[in-house]
């Protein structure tokens, strides 16, 4: 009975609530939530159609993208790249003054000027060839080397002669360094025509009574008469030996090597066998070894010793690199000794083995390489 009364009461309450609820409005909790969600979508849609003056919500900005602009993450990444490529393409056609990009410089090069490294090197070589109108580039050599091979001077000195206008090629004064000449070109220096000669290296065992010069105004005997039939090339002695000094004397037409052998900087060693008028005391030998002060400065030999095979102490061997005039004779004369005989037995690693007095021989290729490696 009570159950029937409760059911009737509950039904009465439900009917009363149904009559009091406005039309179109939800009553249950599920219905109240669902229409609220639909209302939000409807309101948002209305805002899209009729935007107000307030800021648009994030959802609106997400879908309402301005025309021609991308908003998705992929499009946003792609768009700056596309824009940059478009601008770079515009720069190639109409580059702004003072703001040319690297890519523009790569393709828009100045007329007649290379940009790539390979082109710059090639253009530099071509430019050098254009200025070289003398001789053939196939068999041509640089003019300074030509002068050195002709025995005029070293390459460095030849550059000075060229710049000073002292050299003529085919009757034209040449002052440009790097000029090449060929076998058909006529090179003149000092009023004489030079010839392109192959390098010659000759060693003479000089006898006594000959002076070391190519020409003597007093018509004395010179070392050139001893080698005049050795070769057709014009060769010159390297360094000097006194008239009464015997021994090794080198001849060559290689001016660069001759300059090197005579320069004090390279300290080319020479060994002399000295015969004195009296025995050299041990005290004097120590003084020479320590160094003597001569009128042109202090000089000290590299080595000094008595000749082992000699019966007395009149014969002395001395090794020295100084090239001063009559330096060996002046060393002993400073201590009141008179040099009776002076013979150069070794020069720049060359010796006089199997080379009799007054005779000469050509150097081997091994000896030539040895001289070029000195210093």
Q: Given this model, what pLDDT does residue 58 score? A: 52
Q: Given this model, what pLDDT does residue 367 score? A: 95
Do residues 227 and 368 both lie within one domain? yes
Q: Which domain holds residue 208?
A: 201-253+362-373
Residues 294-313, mean pLDDT to the nearest whole number: 91
Do residues 228 and 276 both lie within one domain? no
User: Is residue 20's pLDDT more than 90?
Assistant: no
Give φ, ψ of 263 to 5 degrees.
-75, 130
Residue 324 lies in a domain: yes
User: Is residue 100's pLDDT more than 70?
Assistant: no
**Residue position matching structure tokens 């002068």:** 147
User: Is residue 33's pLDDT more than 80?
Assistant: no
Q: Given this model, what pLDDT does residue 201 score? A: 95
- pLDDT band of residue 103 (cuts 50, 70, 90) is very low
Do residues 369 and 248 both lie within one domain? yes
Do residues 149 and 183 both lie within one domain? yes
Residue 61 lies in a domain: no
pTM of the model: 0.54
Considering its fold, how many domains does the chain have in total? 3
Residue 275 lies in a domain: yes
Do residues 192 and 320 both lie within one domain? no
| Average pLDDT along the chain | 76
Do residues 192 and 205 both lie within one domain? no
- pLDDT band of residue 47 (cuts 50, 70, 90) is very low
Q: At 301, which CATH number?
A: 3.30.70.1560
What's the pLDDT tens digit per position in 193-211?
887 677 899 999 999 999 9
Among the options 129, 139, 159, 242, which is catalytic?
Answer: 242
User: How far is Cα 78 from Cα 270, in angstroms, rounded to an integer?
Assistant: 81
The question of whether 31 is a catalytic residue gets the answer no
Give the largest Cα separation in the chain, rounded: 171
Residue 20 lies in a domain: no
Residues 271-283, mean pLDDT to the nearest whole number: 95
Question: Do the Cβ atoms of 337 and 278 come closer than 8 Å?
Answer: yes
User: How far is Cα 55 from Cα 101, in angstroms, rounded to an integer?
Assistant: 41
Residue 259 lies in a domain: no
């Amino acid at each position: 009975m009570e159950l029937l009364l409760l059911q009737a009461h509950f039904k009465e309450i439900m009917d009363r609530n149904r009559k009091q609820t406005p039309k179109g409005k939800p009553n249950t909790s599920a219905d109240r939530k669902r229409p609220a969600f639909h209302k939000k979508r409807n309101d948002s849609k209305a805002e899209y159609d009729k935007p107000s003056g307030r800021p648009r919500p994030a959802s609106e900005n997400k879908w309402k993208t301005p025309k021609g602009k991308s908003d998705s993450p992929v499009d946003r990444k792609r768009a700056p790249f596309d824009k940059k490529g478009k601008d770079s393409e515009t720069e190639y056609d109409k580059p702004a003054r003072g703001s040319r990009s690297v890519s523009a410089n790569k393709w828009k090069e100045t007329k007649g000027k290379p940009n790539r490294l390979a082109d710059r090197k090639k253009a530099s070589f071509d430019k050098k060839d254009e200025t070289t109108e003398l001789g053939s580039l196939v068999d041509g050599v640089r003019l300074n080397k030509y002068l050195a091979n002709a025995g005029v001077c070293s390459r460095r000195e030849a550059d000075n002669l060229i710049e000073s206008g002292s050299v003529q090629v085919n009757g034209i004064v040449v002052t440009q360094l790097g000029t090449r000449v060929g076998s058909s070109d006529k090179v003149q220096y000092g009023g004489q025509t030079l010839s392109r000669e192959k390098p010659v290296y000759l060693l003479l065992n000089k006898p006594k009574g000959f002076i070391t010069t190519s020409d003597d105004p007093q018509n004395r005997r010179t070392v050139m008469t001893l080698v005049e039939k050795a070769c057709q090339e014009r060769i010159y002695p390297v360094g000097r030996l006194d008239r009464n000094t015997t021994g090794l004397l080198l001849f060559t037409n290689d001016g660069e090597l001759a300059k090197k052998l005579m320069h004090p900087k390279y300290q080319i060693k020479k060994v002399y066998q000295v015969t004195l008028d009296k025995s050299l005391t041990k005290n004097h030998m120590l003084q020479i070894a320590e160094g003597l002060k001569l009128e042109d400065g202090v000089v000290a030999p590299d080595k000094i010793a008595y000749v082992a095979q000699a019966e007395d102490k009149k014969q002395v061997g001395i090794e020295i690199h100084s090239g001063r005039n009559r330096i060996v004779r002046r060393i002993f004369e400073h201590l009141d000794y008179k040099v009776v005989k002076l013979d150069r037995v070794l020069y720049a690693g060359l010796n006089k083995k199997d080379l009799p007095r007054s005779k000469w021989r050509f150097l081997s290729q091994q000896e030539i390489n040895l001289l070029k490696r000195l210093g």
